[in-house]
Amino acid sequence: MSTSRSHLEPALHRILQQLHPYLADLVIIGGWVPYLYKWYGLAMNWQSALSFTSEVDVLAPDRLPATTRLPLREILQAANLRPMNATGTAAVWEGDVERGEKIEFFVLRQGPFTKTASLAPIHEQPGLGAIALDKCQTFNARLSSATAEGAQKRIKDLLYLRDLMAAGSDIVERIRTDIMGYLPTEQHDVDSALNELHLILRPVKRTLIFDVAQMLAARDGVDTNSARADIEGYLTDLAELLEPFQSPRVQDPDFEYHDE
């Protein structure tokens, strides 16, 4: 895992230029976000190091009419990106991955929670799919054990959360403000996130923390013990940030956290 995205930024620019007709409907999420915030003015005092994968993660609405625009599939193909699912719909499109030419589409999951990641269509965009993303998927301990790839992604996601909390007081305040904006409609998600954080931080479940610490240690060049203390500290900070927003049900002293 590299710590510098700058050499991949031309590919990001190229992909965004190709997606230009749809940019008003799409939201960049994931690892590119802190980099963009840090270097393009919204959080220039970002203090923590950044880690990343080369792909561009994009959140799309589950229905995205082309209207007068070219369909997204054709735009992607014109940009020499190939679908990673040869049949049917594809959520992942790749060109020269080494240069950062990879894009993954996500949609917010509709309906009941499931324990496995699933592919969903983006309606009115033939051939284009998206990974259905549960808002609190990152925190769910069981998802990580499903596959090695899933486990690695969870570790990266937790490191990403750590980086957010380590980015400085301005960023943490912004997160706090954003969470306030989610309430009360997203109360369940805040409660779930806090529930999962408490589970991750429980002493008996520290193996996941250890995995994240190893990734941080390799990235930042610190010893594993320091990295583990760092991860535990910042995730505890995040839990404390969420606690004032938890629902009264969870604040009940008789309430017990549990695995989903």
Partner 1 sequence: MQAPLDQAFLHLKSVIPPQVVVEKEHNGYEQLTVLYRGQHGATSPVVRLAFQELPTEWTSTPDSPPDVVWVARDLSPEVRRRFRELGRSFISIRQGEVVIVHPALVIDRIAPKAVTVRTASTIDPFGPGPGRVVLALLNNALTPEPRAWGIRELAAYSGVDRTTTSDVVNTLAAYGLVTRENDPRKRGRGVTVRVQRVTALLDRWSATYDILRNPSITVHAPIGDPRAFLRRLPTILRDRSWALTLQAGASLIAPHASWERIHVYVDVQSHHELADIAIQQGWTTGESGKLTIMRPWYHFDFLRRIRTIDRLPVVDQAQLLIDLWSYPVRGREQAEHLLHQRNQMAPDAQTLPA
The residue among 102, 75, 78 whose CA lies nearest residue 91 is 102
Angstrom CA distances, 32 to 38, 39, 136, 150, stand at 10, 11, 19, 19
Sequence-ordered alpha helix ranges (H) in the chain: 9-18, 32-39, 72-78, 141-146, 148-165, 169-182, 187-201, 206-220, 224-242, 248-251
Q: Closest CB to partner 1 among 57 and 230?
A: 230
For 44, the token pair is 């220039």
Of 22, 93, 234, 245, the one binding partner 1 by CB under 8 A? 234
Q: Closest CB to partner 1 among 107 and 216?
A: 216
Q: Closest CB to partner 1 among 96 and 173?
A: 173
Q: Closest CB to partner 1 among 240 and 259?
A: 240
Q: How many CA atoms lie within 13 A of 155 on its CB side?
A: 23
Pairwise CA distance, residues 250 & 155, whole Å: 26
With CB under 8 A, what is the number of residues at the site for partner 1? 20
What residues have CB less than 8 Å from 187, skipping those under 6 apart? 247
* 169 forms part of the interface with partner 1 (CB under 8 A): yes
Residues 192-231 that bind partner 1 (CB under 8 A): 203, 222-223, 225-226, 228-230
* 45 forms part of the interface with partner 1 (CB under 8 A): no
Tell me the closest approach of the beta carbon of residue 71 to partner 1, in angstroms.
45
Of 233, 244, 257, 259, the one binding partner 1 by CB under 8 A? 233
Q: Closest CB to partner 1 among 105 and 139?
A: 139
* 98 forms part of the interface with partner 1 (CB under 8 A): no
Cis geometry, peptide bond prior to residue 184 (ω within 30 degrees of 0): yes
* 166 forms part of the interface with partner 1 (CB under 8 A): yes
For 12, the token pair is 């990001």
Q: Which residues bind partner 1 (CB under 8 A)?
A: 162, 165-166, 169, 172, 203, 222-223, 225-226, 228-230, 232-237, 240
